[in-house]
A and B are shown apart, each in its own frame.
Chain A
Amino acid sequence: MRLIFEKSMPGRRAVQTGPGDVPTMNIRSSLLREQAAELPELSELDVVRHFTELSRRNFGVDSNFYPLGSCTMKYNPKVAEHIASYPGFTQLHPLLPQLRMGEMLTQGVLRILYEIDLLLREITGMAGFTMQPLAGAHGELAGMMIMAAYHKDKGNKKTTVLIPDSAHGTNPASAAVAGYDVASIPSNEDGVMDIEAVRQHLNDEVAGLMLTCPNTLGLFNPHVKEICDLIHSVDGLAYYDGANLNAIVGKARPGDFGFDIVHLNLHKTFATPHGGGGPGAGPVGVREELVSYLPVSIVAKRSDGTYTLEYDHPKSIGYIAPFYGNFSVVLKAYVYILMLGKEGLRRVAENAVLNANYIRVKLQKYYDLPYSGLCKHECVFSASRQTEKGVHAIDIAKGLIDAGFHPPTVYFPTVVHEAMMIEPTETESKETLDAFIDAMIEIAKQAESEPQKLKSAPTTAPVCRPNETAAARNLNIAYLQRSRGENINT
């Protein structure tokens, strides 16, 4: 398909600007660019058709089943999109509440920020939240900064954060970016963080622990409370990565397990759309003793029932985002929580876990299941049996594309050879799961009978397998040709 720049027709326009109702200002030419930016020249119809065609070359939750493990690709209710488009939310300048008199003109949004904080506290068992982190990984970084501020305040000399080997890559990366060394803790034979290994790594330099529970294998660590206690015994802090909260939401709370800091992925558990890779939101909640470290501003409620922004928190880690986080994402999550309520949230976890176990049991005859017990929201198979026939996890993934499904996450977690990580979420029906299971069984049979067919899949997608090695070797990451063929920026 041609690029939008290749469709450009000199002189064509989509937008009439103006009104130009004032005289022209001539800025000194040495301060101006020499040539106009080479943006495409198109009609509105051209632009609409181009992007409509691109949208047809995409696959979303609305297209079909999207069991991408660890990403919680549940249905995104349309009502949240509708509400988020109200002008009272979209047109609000973030500096307005910081002006005198402006605060009273933003009471609706401030109340939403205040109330979702209360709801998330109850859901997680924490004492206070910030909505500022702009994504899950950004929440992890904010959490590590809170950890560092706590230790600095107490005069603790801490250098190391313990992280299990099955963790998301963002965990060690966030700890490192915050200035910590990382110690990788092996999983035990049950697939969860080994408590003995934690004990061995425990010393006065341990600043804390980052743990996802259930972990990326979909397994709940029965020793989670003891592990948190061990960390506390050296004055470390326990950080809960909320990526997998969908498995326990409405049933159990990280605060009750002993965690001190929690981040949530609103775009996972709380159904805000993933946007093709963002925007997300990664609110961070903390225990009472850590509330004073939360980033500013803090939304507070006055005794007269009005809401205000507080900045005077001397122990605060400072500014994580320019304002109050990805407000529109937070708003959609708020709508979702209001609609589900207590019962609804509980049913989320129950059905997410039921759907995952249904797939686990139905497919375990056909694929290796390295950790075969009960799982939570996701199950991780290995393609090792199929690999003997030359069919790898990636080939199974591509075969699923031809069957009309988005593939699971593959090759992660790395603790499983040829991993296929399947997270169905609670919103999918039995009929959809059955169709997916049938497709997986069919592929398992194909791996035996005609492996070559899977090696050449997909054949029904807009493109076949792209050459990723060539992409990295002959790097082309921007189209900088004019229609005449010369390069623009050189």
Chain B
Amino acid sequence: MPFISNTLEQQDQMLAEIGLTKQDLFADIPAGLLCKDFKLPPGLSEQRVRDSLAELAEKNSTHLTCFLGGGFYDHFTPAAVNSIVSRSEFYTAYTPYQPELSQGTLQAIYEYQSAVCRLTEMEVANASLYDGGTALYEAMMMAHRITGRNKIIIDDSVNPIYRMMIHSHTRNLRLEFEESQCKDGLADRGQILERIDDKTSAVILQNPNFFGCIDDFSDIATAAHDKGALLIVSCYPISLGILKTPGAMGADIATGEGQSLGLPLSFGGPYLGLMAARKQYVRKMPGRIVGETTDASGQRAYVLTLQAREQHIRRDKATSNICSNEALCALTALVYLSLLGKEGLKETSQLCADKASYAYRRLTAIPGVQPHFRGRWFFNEFVLDLPCEAVDVIAKLIERGFAAGVPLSRYYSRMENSILISVTEKRTKHEIEMLAEALESVL
């Protein structure tokens, strides 16, 4: 079923009208380069495909109660979000090159940029990047362009997946990375401040960090600025419902994974890379940017702007190679934030903290279960030390219906017994009780 509209008769008629035969159409490809036989299966009907994909969908578990986080979270999404973003005027359009026909997409991106600025308390934002990891990589490259310096300090409490992505993406560039080790769950000031020098392009931190601990990086921002370096903060947008913002801390660039803003987990994507910055850096920012202007009749209109930064104009001198972004995901985040609104986001954020705190108290009351970092403020994620290897405990809990958390031995040495547990507003007190009982039973 190739979704071709023209009948065979129409195809013949068209060929006749333009004086070509079917063979002529590919006569420009040397015969030796045409493939005689593709070993591909025959096409299937819609019914067959739906049946077989439904079967594959059922081979994946959706019955587990999710306490897995690590930067990717199981939040609640109002039904209206999907209803709106399923409008095909949005999802079957492309990059708004023709503004007169794309005011819907353009205004939505402008509103999204505004929402990201409001959320992060930064001055400018772009139209989105692929995901939180590539956004952090792009922020690092942006800082390198702004400062002309090569040294980057990145804390080991930044999501290890993002750190691996940054290293992979920059392997062939002359950049120098220094990794600082966090101390008792927080960025180690002594270590970081000592490393910042006049070769430093940026300090990269995350709040809440990968372990869920909350910090205020204002002092590090000041120290970085004193040496002409930038502060980049990767953040978790839901937490910004209540937590101190990158803008208030003095960050120069803020990034984040926007999946928590109404996007399903979808086995890893599509997600949404947030990026916001201070105004003076807007011309060094990667990606699409939408600006407000007026049309010939004086009414408000929106267009892609500052395109001279981009690859289709600047080619190898562009600020990034990025072309399309994640426009539909940005729209999703905007709709989500509009539905939750000022109070709803604050409440959701507070509920995450409340439930995580409750789970923390309940789980650390289990004999043999200890908090890994004592006396730390955390948002919706925390690290517990178990009396045995976390991978084993997690496997046993999966059998009891819980995706209980991330085993940290995967990313950190000497953390074999540590588990990172995340609790969103979607989890109920009852589910937390059940997890505690299950954990007790497997220890």
Contacts and interface: CB of A to CB of B under 8 A. Distances in A.
A44 interface: yes
Contact of B270 (A12, A319, A328): A328
Given A278-B325, A319-B161, A93 B265 contact: yes
A170 B53 contact: no
A411 to B, nearest CB: 10
Interface stretch (A194-202, A230-238, A336-344, A441-449): A336-344
B398 A478 contact: no
B50 to A, nearest CB: 6
Nearest to A257: B33
Contacts of B128: 278
B281 interface: no
B66 A119 contact: no
B179 interface: no
B230 interface: no
B169 A141 contact: yes
Interface string B178-213: 000000000000000000000000000000000000
Contacts of B146: none
Interface string B1-21: 111111000110111011110
Given A31-B243, A278-B326, A361 B107 contact: no
A3 B115 CA distance: 11
Interface string B43-70: 1111001101111111111101010101
Interface stretch (A79-87, A284-292, A384-392): A79-87
A38 B353 contact: no
Interface in A165-193: 168-170, 172-179, 181-182
A145 B4 contact: no
Interface in B79-100: 80, 83-84, 86-100
Nearest to B172: A179
Contact of B4 (A15, A173, A182, A348): A348
A263 interface: no
A318 B312 contact: no
B18 A47 contact: no
A4 B338 contact: yes
A15 to B, nearest CB: 5
A275 interface: yes
Interface string A295-332: 10000000000000000000001111111111111000
A157 interface: no
Contacts of B428: 19, 21
Contacts of A357: 18, 20, 25
B216 interface: yes
B94 to A, nearest CB: 4
A175 B399 CA distance: 47
A239 to B, nearest CB: 13
Contacts of B71: 322
Interface string B156-168: 0000011011011
B394 A173 contact: no
B133 A321 contact: yes
A154 to B, nearest CB: 14
Nearest to A412: B312
A90 B282 CA distance: 35
A57 B103 contact: yes
Interface stretch (B221-229, B315-323, B364-372, B434-442): B315-323
B265 A472 contact: no
A87 B42 contact: no
Interface residues of B, number: 211
Interface string B270-283: 11000000000010
Contact of A406 (B101, B134, B354): B101
Looking at B2, B89, B313, B356, which has the most chain A CB atoms within 10 Å of its CB? B2
Contacts of A338: 41, 43-44, 49, 52
A227 B380 CA distance: 56
Interface string A77-112: 101011100111111111110111110011111011
Contacts of A27: 214, 242-243, 353, 377, 379
Nearest to A317: B168
Nearest to B168: A318
A456 B62 CA distance: 55
A277 B164 contact: no
B28 A176 contact: no
A143 to B, nearest CB: 11
A66 to B, nearest CB: 7
Interface in B117-136: 117-119, 121-125, 127-128, 130-134
Interface string A257-279: 10000000000000101111111
Interface string B223-244: 0000000000000000011111
Given A134-B130, A169-B311, A357-B20, A489 B338 contact: no
B318 to A, nearest CB: 5
Given A17-B425, A173-B311, A466-B302, A354 B15 contact: yes
Interface string A19-39: 111111101101111101111
Nearest to B19: A361
Of all A-B residue pairs in the complex, the 8 with the closest CB atoms, nearest first, are A323-B268, A88-B57, A341-B43, A318-B168, A58-B104, A60-B92, A275-B328, A108-B59
Given A23-B358, A224-B33, A429-B10, 17 more contacts: A1-B300, A14-B344, A15-B341, A20-B351, A42-B338, A61-B88, A86-B54, A93-B403, A109-B267, A135-B324, A170-B323, A276-B102, A320-B168, A327-B269, A337-B40, A339-B1, A426-B4
26 contacts: A3-B110, A13-B344, A27-B243, A48-B83, A58-B93, A59-B89, A60-B91, A75-B3, A83-B49, A88-B62, A93-B403, A94-B265, A135-B323, A176-B316, A182-B315, A276-B327, A277-B127, A278-B130, A325-B268, A325-B269, A358-B18, A430-B13, A466-B302, A477-B282, A480-B114, A489-B247
